[in-house]
Structure formats: C-alpha cells, structure tokens
Chain A
Amino acid sequence: MNAAHAVEARGLAKHFGALKAVDGVTFDIAAGEIFGILGPNGSGKTTTIRMLCGLLTPTAGTATVAGSDVTTHPDRVKSAIGYMSQAFGLYGDLTAEENLRFYGGVYGLDRDLGARIAWAEDRMKLAELGGRLSAQLSGGQRQRLALGCSLLHRPQVLFLDEPTAGVDPAARRLFWTIIRGLADEGTTIIVTTHYMDEAERFDRLAFLSRGTLTAYGTPTEVKRTFGENMTLEDIFVQLQGSEA
C-alpha cells in the first residue's frame, strides 16, 4: 500500500438485503488532506464513513485507514481515528472537563491526560467553560467540545459526520479555522456535509449518489467534469434532481 495515503478504499460495498447502500466505491485520501464526502440523504455517505470507522463490515471490497485494514483490524483502526457525529456524543449531565476526562480515559490516556485536556480546552477555545455542564453550552461550544474529545488521543484520521448542522455562522468559521490548522499539522480529515458553501473548503471531494461515486477530485476538477460554469451547488442540485 501507499504509505502516503491515510485512507484507501477499493471497491467498497455494503448491501442491506436488496438495498445497495454503497455499491463499490474506490478512492484515496492523502495524509493531511481535508476530504469531503458530499451527497443527498440516502446516498451512502454515512454508510461509507461507518465502514471506514470499523462500525460496519463491508459486503465487498477493502479499505485501509491509517495503515490498518478495517475488516481484519477494526480495533487498530479505532485507536487511530477520531469520530465526531452529528449528535456530538456528549454527556449533557457531565461538565465539559468531565466529558474530556471520560473520553481521554476511554482512549487509554493516562499520564498525559491532564496535559491533553489543557491542550483541548485551549485549542478549542473552551477555557473558562471547563466547569459548565455540557448541556448548558451553546451549539458552537458543544461542537468544539465534541471535537476536542475526539482529538485527545492524537488520531491520524478524523471523521466529521455533518459537523456544522445547527451551528451559527461565527461558530462555523471558528470551527473551520481549527480544522484547517489540524490538517496543516498533518491530521487527515474526512467530512460529510450537504452544505455547499463548505465544499469549497475541501482539498478534494467525492460526490456520492445512490451508493456510487459520481464525481471525485479537487473542487476545480469536479466543476470541470460537470461543465465550466457550474458551481458546486448547481452540481449538487443536478445530482439530487436525477435522484428524484
């Protein structure tokens, strides 16, 4: 395998009975890249991510994440990745700091747990908020806390599933600044979204439609595939239209 690729998917497929949720997708994601997976609801985005995280066993095909095969070594994959879901996965009745402490413990941090919590609070702009119950935080603060929780163990690959749903624009901008900083430091970031304005922030992206890859490349390349004057939004609408 190519050591430079943080993620490699080869003919990855997941069928639920007759439903082909993902039907043979192939792509590579380079280390330190921000990679977007776009597509309408039901296009197979989440299923693809869940396979890459080792949550679902592929029906066919293979995938390696951070150098480990997701089917044969899901445990290694889990230690090497961070995952932030749409629901954020925070405990509302724990304080921000307790959430960090819990996830740090779950990822096996021990002696450097305190230092990593301090790092997360500083980097995610959560200082002063450590003692607040996470249920009392704003949407943006909760989002950054969830991001902090998923980064404590220094994952090589970070999965963000619809990360900015329901977060105000200022908080979104701050969030993307943090994400860009992480990518510059070498963390590979994989994002699913259906916000088109965010697609321009991706280094490369993949359009999924009915479980297959319909476009794949840099934003510029993708635009070229569909026609020079198309914006990503036009492409998205066109793909969604063909779905209906």
Chain B
Amino acid sequence: MNRGRLRAIVWKEFVQMRRDRATLGMMLGVPVMQLVLFGFAIRQEVRHLPTTVFDVSRTQESRLFVDRLIATGNFDLVAPSPDYAGAIRAIDTGRARAAIVIPEDYARRLKRNEPAHVQVLVDATDPTASQSAIGAAQLVGQATSVEILARRAGATVDPGATPLDVRVRPLYNPALKSVLFIVPGIIGMILSNILIVITAMAIVRERESGTLEQLIVTPLTRGEIMLGKIMPYVGVGLVQLTAVLVVGYFMFGVHVRGSVALIYLMALLFIIASLGLGLFISTLVTRQAAAIQVSFFFLLPNVLLSGFMFPREAMPKAAAWIGLLLPLTHFLQIMRGIVLKGVGIASLWPQMLALAGFSAAFITFAALRFHKSLE
C-alpha cells in the first residue's frame, strides 16, 4: 500500500461525491427521511379501536362492563348499533373495528348466580392490530369474574389480596413503544441497503466509463483500488449513523443506554461487511442497472428475515436459518442490545464475531473476484 496513491483515489472519490448532488442527497437525506417515516408510521401496538355497542341488557351492570372495557384505552365508542346485524355491518363497512354485544339476560343471570355471557367482536383482518384489543377484553372479563366471585363469597374486593398475583414488568422498553424498537433497526437497515447499492454502483460505473481499465495500467495495486473506493463510504456510513442517532434522540426520544463508542465500533464492522458485499456484487455485473437489481436481491431478505419488522422467533426454522446468513440480523441484535438494554461487549461477542466473519469473507470473495474480473 502506497499512501500517496491511496490518498489520490480517496480524494477523487470525495470530489466526485460532492459533485453528484443526487447521490449525496440520497446518502444523507434518505436515512433521515426513512427514520422519520418509519418512526411516525410504524406503530405495532394498535389501540383505540372504534367500537360500537349493542347492549340489549341496558342495565347498570352492563354499562359498568362497557365502561371497564373502554377504560383500557383499547376501545373508543362510536354510535351504538340498534341490533346484532347492525353491529356486524358496522364492522363490515369499517365504521367500527370492534363491537361489544351484551345479551338481554346479562344482569339477570348475574343476579341468579348463573354464568352470564358477553360477546366482543374484533376485526382481526390484521392479526397484530387486533391483538391488544383481544387481550384487553379477556383481561377485563377475568378481572370482573374474580370480583363477582369474591362478592359472592362475601369478601370485599382487594386486588392486592388475590390468591395469585402475577406482576409483569416489561424490561428495557417499559412503555412498550415500538419506536424504541424500530429506530435501532432502521440504522442497520439504512446502512446496509444504501451502502451495498452505492458501492456496487461506484465500481460498476468506473467499469462502464472505461476508467477502471485506465486505473489498472497505473501503478495502483488492486488492493489500493478496492480500499480507496471503500474508505470514503465507510465515512459516509458513519455520518449516516450519526444522523440517525441524533434525529432519533431529538425527535423520538431514543436514548442510547449502552456505550455510544461501542455502537460506532460495531457499526464499523457492519459497514465493512456491507461494503464488502457491495464490492462483491460489483464484480458479478458489468452494468449499473444490473448492479441495482442484484443489490435488491439482498434488500428484501434484509427487511423480511433479519428481524427488522417481523420477530425471528415466529419464523419457520428454514427462514430463521437464512436470516442468520444476513449480517443485518446480527447487527440488529447488537444495536437493540446496546441502545435498549444497555448491554456491553460481554453479551454481544457472538454477534460481533459473526459480523467480523462476514466482513472478512465478503472482502476476501470480493478481492478474489475483483482480481479475475479485471483480466
């Protein structure tokens, strides 16, 4: 490696980058835009379902039960329905996403110590969106049952005195805000997608314009060409990381619980792995359009299998295994670990090893192929 030659190629990359306003905008604007979009738009917890009530019982007991359901924050009352078919129609048309149906004999059966029935209909076309409403309805039902049983036994109701008291304490993200989960994910998503495409393009562009051939006749070694093309984008990746962390902090209140320095160290490994992959892609194709297509081949699994949006625990074994072959999967675990849990290298070293392995493998593959593709 010759310092002067390397400096020349890195300098040239930066001049070109500065001049290419569109790409520059894409490199810096897209991460922040995606963060804002995802941050505001993706809410996995769905609350406040518009809810219609068909209460035939019309008693104090039935109104109390409806009030309790509403108090959970999962159901917002809309116009009540005159009959059962009306309640169904309200959900069919989308005017309501849930319906509470209380039969005529509700209060009477309760008084006679007979089992009373309540029906809660929830639009479950989107399973995720309906989950918390379903959970809330079941909980309210159970709590009310316990209360009624206790009253029958002649005891006063004291929730602290139930025989079994299960207390769930959500760790790391106590408010269960999805944005806290999403932001660290977005960082990995953006770094990998943008960097893979940009590196692949950067080399293929030189091949297309004939400058790559010119570089090979100069004393530049292949290692210098590769390193010189990659180094500026390592810088770009670190700037993107910083932008997303800063915007995440000020706009979404995402605090990094762990070490920021560790984030940068891990991101560096991840960036190198992504650039290596981009470089490898650039050796497989000769046209920029093809480079973009091959890159997209990696982008979709990145979204679907890495655990960015869908929990890996829920995936079939095969899909989960494929997910392990993506650097992003490991990086997401690292980022969520550091940002949300505040854990250190002691618990993250397996993922770190995986990233280091990917970096080494991709760079080696790319170097071998790069050598051949220039002949």
Set of chain A residues within 8 Å of B219, measured between Cβ atoms: 75, 78-79, 106-108
Shortest distance from the beta carbon of B346 to any chain A beta carbon, whole Å: 45
Q: Name the contact of A89 in the complex, choosing from B11, B213, B220, B375 (C-beta under 8 A).
A: B213
Determine if A28 is an interface residue (Cβ-Cβ < 8 Å): no
Complex contact A102–B210 (CB within 8 A):
no
Contact present for B210 and A89 (CB under 8 Å): yes
Residues of B within 8 A of A98 (CB): 12, 15
**How far in angstroms is the closest Cβ of chain A from B21?**
11
The answer to whether the Cβ of A55 comes within 8 Å of any Cβ in the partner chain is: yes
Chain B residue contacts of A53, Cβ below 8 A: 217
Which residue of chain B has its CB nearest to the CB of A98?
Answer: B15
Chain A-chain B contacts (Cβ-Cβ < 8 Å), number: 71
Contact with B along A137-175 (1 / 0, CB 8 A): 000000000000000000000000000000000000000
Residue of B nearest to A79 (CB): B219
Instruction: Check if B216 sits within 8 Å of A106, measured CB to CB.
Output: no
Knowing A93-B16, A102-B11 are in contact, say whether A78-B213 is a contact too (CB < 8 A): no
Q: Mark B1-33, 1 if CB is under 8 A from A, else 0.
A: 010110111011001100110000000000000
Main secondary structure on chain B at its contact with chain A?
helix
- Whether the Cβ atoms of A105 and B8 lie closer than 8 Å is yes
User: Which residues of the partner chain A approach B15 to less than 8 Å between Cβ atoms?
Assistant: 94, 98
Kindly state the separation between the CA atoms of A75 and B11 in the bound complex, as whole angstroms.
23
Residue among A81, A89, A92, A101 having the largest count of chain B Cβ atoms under 10 Å? A89
A56 and B213 contact, CB distance less than 8 A: no
Do B12 and A108 touch (CB < 8 A)?
A: no
| Residue A218, interface by CB 8 Å | no
A87 and B12 contacting across the interface, CB-CB below 8 Å: no
Decide yes or no whether A83 CB sits under 8 A from chain B: yes
Give the CA-CA distance A88 to B217 in the complex, in Å: 12
Knowing A87-B210, A90-B211, A92-B209, the reply to whether A106 touches B220 (Cβ < 8 A) is yes
Q: Which of B4, B7, B16, B218 contacts A91 (CB 8 A)?
A: B16
A103 at the interface (CB under 8 A from B): yes
CB distance from B220 to the nearest CB of A (A): 6
**B209 and A55 contact, CB distance less than 8 A:** no
Whole-angstrom distance from the CB of A51 to the nearest CB of chain B? 12
B110 at the interface (CB under 8 A from A): no
- Number of chain B residues close to chain A: CB under 8 A: 24
Contact digits for A89-123, partner B, Cβ 8 Å, 1 yes 0 no: 11111100010011111111010000000000000
0 or 1 for each of B209-245: is its CB under 8 Å from A? (1 = yes): 1110111111110000000000000000000000000
A92's closest neighbor in chain B, by CB?
Answer: B209
Residues of B within 8 A of A110 (CB): 4
- B82-140 residues with Cβ-Cβ distance < 8 A to A are none
CB atoms of A103 and B218 under 8 A apart? yes
Taking CB atoms, residues of chain A closer than 8 Å to B16 are 91, 93-94
Cβ-neighbour of B5 out of A83, A101, A105 (below 8 A): A105
Task: Tell me if B218 and A106 are in contact (CB < 8 A).
Answer: yes
Instruction: Give Cα A79–Cα B210 distance, bound, in whole angstroms.
Output: 20
B2 to chain A, nearest CB (A): 7
**Bound Cα distance A92, B217 (Å):** 19
Q: How far is the CB of A26 from chain B (nearest CB, A)?
A: 23
CB distance from B29 to the nearest CB of A (A): 20
Q: Are A87 and B213 in contact (CB under 8 A)?
A: yes
Closest Cβ–Cβ distance, residue B213 to chain A (whole Å): 6
- Determine whether the beta carbon of A94 is less than 8 Å from that of B217: no
A 74-85 to B, binary, CB cutoff 8 A, 1 in contact else 0: 010011010101
B9 CB → nearest A CB, Å: 7
Contacts of B4 in A (CB 8 A): 105, 108, 110
A89-B211, A90-B211, A110-B4 known; A102 and B12 CB under 8 Å?
A: yes
Contacts of A75 in B (CB 8 A): 219
What separation, in Å, do the CA atoms of A98 and B18 have in the docked complex? 13
B220 — nearest CB in chain A belongs to which residue? A106
CA distance A104 to B16 in the complex (A): 17
Known: A78-B218, A102-B12, A106-B5. 10 other contacts (CB 8 A): A55-B217, A83-B214, A85-B214, A87-B210, A93-B20, A94-B12, A105-B4, A105-B7, A107-B218, A108-B2
Q: List, sorted by A's number, 15 A–B pairs whose CB atoms are closer than 8 Å.
A: A53-B217, A55-B217, A79-B219, A83-B217, A86-B210, A89-B210, A91-B209, A93-B16, A102-B9, A102-B11, A102-B12, A105-B4, A106-B9, A106-B218, A110-B4
